[in-house]
Amino acid sequence: MTGDHLPTAYCCSIVPPHILERLAHSADAEIADAARQALRDVAEGMLHRRAHAAPESRPGSKPRLAPGTLESGPQRLICDAQGGTTLPGTQVRGEGEPDTGDVAVAEAYDGLGDTWQLFADAFERNSLDGRGLPLRATVHYGENYDNAFWDGTQMVFGDGDGKIFGRFTASLDVIGHELAHGVTEHTAGLMYQGQPGALNESMSDVFGSMVKQRRLGQDAADADWLIGAELLIGELAGQALRSMKAPGTAYDSPLLGKDPQPGHMDDYVETDDDHGGVHINSGIPNRAFYLLATALGGASWEAPGRIWYAVLTGPGISADCDFVTFAGLTVDEAIGQYGVQSPEVAAVKSAWAQVGVLGGAESDGEGPVPVVDLPADPGEPVPAPVPDDSGEPSPEWPGVPEEGGVGHHERGPDDMEHEGEVPAGAVVEVTRSGGVAGLTARRSVALDELPAPQQQQWRSVLGNRTLQTLDAQAAASAARQHPDTYCYGVSCPTPPTEVSIREQDLPDDLKALLEETLREA
């Protein structure tokens, strides 16, 4: 891999961090090493590449396809990393070229094509950006690499450790999931935090499921609604990363723990971890889509998919869209497409009511009634990022956390009194959350128990208020968030420290310190 450390719009790994963290403590050294390598690559920013992509014009306009555009088909390019980590690797198959005999190359090539074909046939969309963006992938990345990710420019696939995870090209819905993050980036630009972030993750699961179901010729009733079922092997075969049908049931084993996803707002998880639980609470909109698709019957990419796609790419959605707002937009879209008294409208309302997002399912044409209290003055919606003069996405989001938001620490008299003091025996708690599975790693440790170099680094970081400075800078710049990357939390009583900082806002040396502290556990 090159030595560049450039910002990227998206760096999305398919294996949730809570799964990787569990495996990193496995008694099997090979499994533990593979999981640690996957965590290290994301946490140290080694996967970052710049995404040269311009969102669609707002509000809501979709690119008009020139005659014959879709007939020209996708533009695919597959490379082989040959067990290394240099991207993109050696080109082994281009568009229209014959099979190489390498099953991973064939699966990647076909998966990119199936994803392109779904968006073209079902939604008249030409690739991720609507303008024919070439689809690139690298296979055989790393040794025993337990991950697949979208870095904003291409897909990257590991071969797995051969014990828990097999080839990552084997799961078509995973390929569709990661590529769908690119569609979201080019359209709604949903913030990767809290409910907007959970919607971002859910959108990828929804479209990834459509890709798989379409390839298999399945109706909604025939599908298993599992994400990543083909990845797990050995004693874990038959389990998956997520279940859209029954969130919280995808896996339950000593190796992975238990699936933490809720399927109803009553069980919504309030957390600062995982960017506000984006990989956990996505189970709620996931189940709503499943309920809609099975209620209407037929193919999920027909009426259900058309409604979801129209909202994702339409003028009503904003980057800070929450569950209630998104649900209301889907009801409005169903009314617009099918009529106020239609079965489609009734099914949409019922689906959201069953997961506790909307109250009632009356077809009165007045839209849904939210069951969640909203702020008296929620302020202006946050728009999706717009292109600058270069045609690239704006590097900044308007309107992310202000004072009192996640990670903000209000300084008081006690802070002033103890600022700069790092007493002997000071205890620091470090957390890391996020990643595709939303697993959380946590360690509390007295600084005196750490190796001398780490002690010195921590005393400097805490005494100089480095973390608070980074936290304030991140809030001021409102930097874009990257799906499936990590969020780090640091807590210390003295000097008073309570911050939550996104991976992309941390310098490499500080990320390395946080990772080393966690790895010592």
Other CB atoms within 10 Å distance of the CB of residue 389: 5
Q: Are strands 135-139 and 155-157 parallel, antiparallel or unpaired?
A: parallel
Tell me the residue ranges of DSSP E strands in 118-215: 135-139, 148-150, 155-157
The H or E element containing residue 451 is none
Question: Is residue 450 within 8 Å of 514, Cβ to Cβ?
Answer: no
3-state secondary structure 359-378: ECCCCCCCCCEECCCCCCCC
Answer for the pair 329, 314: CB distance below 8 angstroms, yes or no: yes
Catalytic residue, chosen from 21, 56, 107, 178, is 178
Instruction: Please give the DSSP secondary-structure letter assigned to residue 473.
Output: H
Handedness of CA 172, 260, 46, 477 (dihedral sign): positive
Q: Is the Cβ–Cβ distance between 24 and 39 less than 8 Å? A: yes
On whether the CB atoms of residues 48 and 463 are closer than 8 A, the answer is no
* 8 A C-beta contact, residue 37 and residue 1: no
Distance CA 146, CA 169 (A): 11
What residues pair up with 486 in beta bridges, in sequence order? 434
Residue 410 annotated as catalytic:
no
String of DSSP letters for 395-447: SB-SS---TTSTT-----HHHHHHTT---TT-EEEEEEEETTT---EEEEEEG
Contact 40, 216 (CB under 8 A): no
The two tokens of residue 390 are 């270069």
Taking every pair of C-alpha atoms in the chain, what is the biggest distance, in angstroms? Answer: 72
For the purposes of burial, counting CB atoms within 10 Å of the CB of 448, is it exposed (0-12), middle (13-18) or buried (19 or more)? exposed
**Structure-token pair, residue 46:** 């080694």
Does residue 506 contact residue 470 with C-beta atoms inside 8 Å?
yes
The answer for residues whose C-beta is within 8 angstroms of residue 456's C-beta and 6 or more apart is none
140, 279, 409, 482: the active-site residue: 279
Give the DSSP letter of residue 234: G
- Chain-centre distance for alpha carbon 90: 28
Do 150 and 180 touch, CB atoms closer than 8 A? Answer: no
Is 178 catalytic? The answer is: yes
Task: Please report, as a single letter, which amino acid is at residue 291.
Answer: L
The vertex-478 CA angle with 475 and 484, nearest 5°, equals 100
Query: Which sequence positions are flagged as catalytic?
Result: 178, 279
